[in-house]
């Protein structure tokens, strides 16, 4: 037995010699990044296996069908385009009163601008997402409960947080719902039609929302005794998605949309994930250098942490509004409108960074036309604030307030050069990947209403 033991020992010694040789041959960047990966306990992203069952098929129809909007000219797919990185490519979204997609929607005089940038849909079904929207008004509570602007009135039966979030764009007047006759809905392209009862106060958000929920279900499926061809098709889709259920409500709509969005926008692993798994060649030298800045002196990973590159917390970047704000001209109070806390003013949720190079413009109001400008503003907000004041004197009145609410984390950043910024962008390109689901499967051939203007997007 002794010769075998000696041979085994020699074999193991040879194996360890190879491993040690490979480690010693690694570049300085690789050696440092391997230490970072170990210290931060960084894990690669692994997509879940999402099937395409009847619930996803129903969600697909709802996602692309303008019947979901009050004036029937806006769908989820209006602003979330696969060929534009799951956003619309505009600084701020365009809702009711318009037509087409992307830049086409700016050409209609009746169009209503939504004063925030469209958020991407990539990986939104992942469990790391504990808050939705720029202000986090839909979030997981401390004990995992689903929290929303409806408070205790939120209907029971939602599968997850994404399902709750998916039901709020259809109740926003300028986004999908449409307006009352006395608030600008005097044209068919801007009227909320039958989705809001005459007896309901359109300015009471909770009352209006619950009313819209009920009427949206009626619009989609009608009744067994009285249904048009669109409603017959939707009733079939609902029956297949929820066998044994006869009394449908908004939770069934939200759950179907969540199932589809989770499946259709789930990403494949990126180059960075392959690097984490030990493949040194998965990143270029510049990407490795950018990663060292990201996790090092740039302090980017303090907020852009975890598998999705977000802490899902709220930070102020001191961004000027450039005249258009959600809460009045030049004003967007951000997180504070969701919490009611003065200290949350001008704070916005940290955006995840997977596929971030594909989802411009950037910022809660789409103010950045390049990743480079967005990064530089994190380090020095003064140039953009100064420029905004020169073009719009009213901005000068708010610049001090914006700076006072700027995140203290940003003050701890080490100064970086334009070359460093370029390397950071190279690293962010290593977070790029394509969806697991192909366009052929993600895009429907038609929708039940036959209003198919968003199908090919």
Quick one: pLDDT at residue 1? 43
Please report whether residue 102 resides in a domain: yes
pLDDT in tens, 262-294: 999 999 999 999 999 999 999 999 999 999 999
Question: Has residue 119 got a pLDDT over 80?
Answer: yes
Per-residue pLDDT band for 24 (boundaries 50, 70, 90) equals: low
Residues 175 and 88 in one domain: yes
CATH number of the CATH domain containing 243: 1.10.760.10
Residues 280 and 262 in one domain: no
Beta strand 113-114 with 131-132 is unpaired
Structure tokens that stand for 388 in this block: 């905004």
Residue pair 248/242 in contact by the 8 Å Cβ criterion: yes
Quick one: pLDDT at residue 456? 62
Please report whether residue 29 resides in a domain: no
Bigger pLDDT: 423 or 202? Answer: 423
Contacts with 179 (C-beta within 8 Å, 6 or more apart), sequence order: 96, 173, 185, 190, 191, 192, 202
**Alpha-carbon span 358 to 264, nearest angstrom:** 17
Residues 245 and 305 in one domain: no
**Alpha-carbon span 135 to 347, nearest angstrom:** 8
Quick one: pLDDT at residue 98? 92
Average of pLDDT values for 298-310?
96
Number of domains in the chain: 2
Question: Has residue 37 got a pLDDT over 80?
Answer: yes
pTM of the model: 0.93
What percent of the chain lies above the pLDDT cut of 90?
A: 81
Residues 260 and 336 in one domain: no
Quick one: pLDDT at residue 290? 98
Residues 60 and 175 in one domain: yes
Structure tokens that stand for 423 in this block: 């390397």
Per-residue pLDDT band for 49 (boundaries 50, 70, 90) equals: confident
Nearest CA to 358 out of 76, 134, 120 is that of 120
Per-residue pLDDT band for 5 (boundaries 50, 70, 90) equals: very low
Contacts with 132 (C-beta within 8 Å, 6 or more apart), sequence order: 119, 124, 138, 139, 161, 162, 164, 165
Structural domain range at position 62: 54-267+435-442
Question: Has residue 2 got a pLDDT over 60?
Answer: no
Residue pair 403/318 in contact by the 8 Å Cβ criterion: yes
Average of pLDDT values for 420-436?
98
Sign of CA dihedral 404, 406, 409, 411: negative
Please report whether residue 456 resides in a domain: no
Quick one: pLDDT at residue 14? 47
Residues 67 and 199 in one domain: yes
Quick one: pLDDT at residue 94? 95
What percent of the chain lies above the pLDDT cut of 70?
A: 94
Quick one: pLDDT at residue 217? 98
Of the candidate ranges 113-122, 301-310, 318-327, the one whose mean pLDDT is the lowest: 318-327
């Amino acid at each position: 037995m002794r010769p075998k033991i000696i041979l085994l020992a020699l074999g193991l010694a040879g194996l360890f010699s190879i491993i040690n040789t490979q480690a010693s041959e690694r570049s300085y960047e690789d050696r440092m990044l391997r230490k970072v990966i170990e210290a931060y306990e960084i894990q690669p992203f692994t997509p879940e296996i999402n099937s395409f069952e009847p619930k996803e098929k129903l969600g697909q129809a709802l996602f692309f069908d303008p019947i979901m909007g009050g004036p029937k000219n806006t769908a989820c797919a209006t602003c979330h385009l696969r060929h534009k990185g799951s956003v619309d490519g505009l600084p701020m979204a365009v809702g009711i009163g318009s037509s087409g997609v992307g830049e086409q929607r700016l050409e209609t005089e009746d169009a209503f601008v939504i004063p925030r940038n469209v958020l991407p849909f990539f990986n939104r079904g992942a469990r790391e997402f504990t808050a939705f929207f720029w202000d986090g008004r839909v979030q997981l509570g401390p004990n995992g409960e689903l929290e929303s602007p409806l408070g205790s009135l939120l209907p029971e039966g939602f599968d997850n947080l994404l399902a709750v979030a998916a039901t709020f764009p259809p109740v926003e007047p300028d986004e999908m719902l449409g307006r009352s006759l006395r608030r600008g809905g005097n044209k068919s392209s801007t009227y909320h039609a039958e989705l809001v009862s005459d007896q309901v106060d359109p300015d009471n958000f909770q009352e209006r929302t619950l009313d819209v929920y009920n009427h949206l279900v009626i619009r989609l499926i009608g009744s067994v005794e009285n249904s048009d061809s669109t409603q017959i098709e939707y009733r079939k889709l609902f029956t297949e998605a929820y066998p044994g259920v006869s009394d449908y409500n908004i939770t069934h709509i939200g759950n179907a949309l969540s199932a589809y969005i989770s499946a259709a926008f789930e990403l494949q692993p990126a180059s960075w994930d392959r690097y984490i798994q030990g493949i040194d060649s998965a990143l270029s030298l510049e990407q490795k250098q950018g990663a060292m800045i990201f996790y090092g002196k740039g302090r980017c990973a303090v907020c852009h942490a975890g598998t999705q590159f977000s802490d899902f917390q709220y930070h102020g970047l001191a961004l000027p509004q450039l005249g258009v704000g959600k809460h009045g001209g030049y004003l967007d109070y951000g997180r504070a409108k969701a919490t009611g806390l003065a200290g949350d003013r001008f704070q916005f949720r940290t955006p995840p960074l997977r596929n971030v190079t594909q989802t411009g413009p950037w910022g809660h109001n789409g103010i950045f036309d390049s990743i480079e400008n967005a990064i530089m503003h994190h380090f020095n907000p003064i140039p953009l604030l100064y420029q905004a004041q020169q073009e719009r004197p009213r901005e000068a009145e708010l610049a001090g307030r914006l700076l006072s609410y700027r995140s203290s984390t940003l003050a701890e950043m080490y100064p970086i050069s334009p070359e460093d910024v370029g390397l950071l962008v190279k690293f962010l390109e290593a977070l790029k990947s394509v969806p697991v689901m192909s366009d052929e499967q993600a895009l429907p051939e038609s929708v039940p209403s036959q209003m198919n203007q968003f199908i090919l997007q």
